[in-house]
Structure 1
Amino acid sequence: MHGQYKIPGGKLVVVDLELDQGRLHQVQVSGDFFIEPDSALALINQALQGQPADAGHATFSAAIQAALPADVQLYGISADGVAVAVQRALGLGDAA
């Protein structure tokens, strides 16, 4: 499954994932944004891994925010933007 979202005033975020028994699996977030340190991208992927597909935008966003240490810098991307891309990958549009 594939979803994309161009964050207003920001960058493109892309989410590729599979479903396994109703849960997000093989989650890969990519795009033309920047994260420092680069290793924090793995934390975003891990935060989404195993989430119920019907968890919803707020849960996806909160899981991402909770997984990122305070010193992580996001440039052109946000947890909410990634959540929108996840929703789109799941065929749910932009529902919050």
Structure 2
Amino acid sequence: MHGEYKVPGGKLVVVDLDIDAGRLANVQVSGDFFLHPDAVLATINAALEGLPADATEGRLATVVRDALAPGSTLYGITPEGVAVAVRRALEAWLPEAGA
């Protein structure tokens, strides 16, 4: 599944993922943003992996935010923007996700 979101005043965040037994799997976040340090991307992907597919945007954003180590910087995206992209990817699987 594939979802995209252009963060207002920021950059494009793209999420590709699968669903396995009702949970997020093979989560890959990408886009035209920058992260510091570079390892933050792997941290975000790992934080989302295994979450319930019906997790709310708020829950997804909290998980991403909580996974970030002190000193991590997101340039052009936010945890909320990542959450929106995840929910958009899930719309085909969970139609009420877009409601």
Q: TM-score range by the shorter chain?
A: over 0.9
- TM-score, normalised relative to structure 1: 0.95
Pick the structure with more helix per residue. 2
Question: For residue 55 of structure 1, what is the amino acid of its counterpart?
Answer: A
Cα distance in 2, alignment partners of residues 30 and 58 from structure 1:
20
Report what 1:19 is aligned to.
Answer: 19
Report what 2:54 is aligned to.
Answer: 54
- 1:1-96 maps to which residues of 2 (within 5 A)? 1-91=1-91, 92-93=97-98
Cα distance in 2, alignment partners of residues 41 and 28 from structure 1:
9
In the alignment, structure 2 segments of 5+ residues that lack a partner are 92-96
Cα distance in 1, alignment partners of residues 10 and 55 from structure 2:
25
- TM-score, normalised relative to structure 2: 0.92
Q: Spell out structure 1 runs of 4+ moving beyond 3 A.
A: none
CA RMSD of aligned residues (A): 0.8
TM-fit CA distance, 1:6: 0.3
User: Number of residue pairs matched?
Assistant: 94
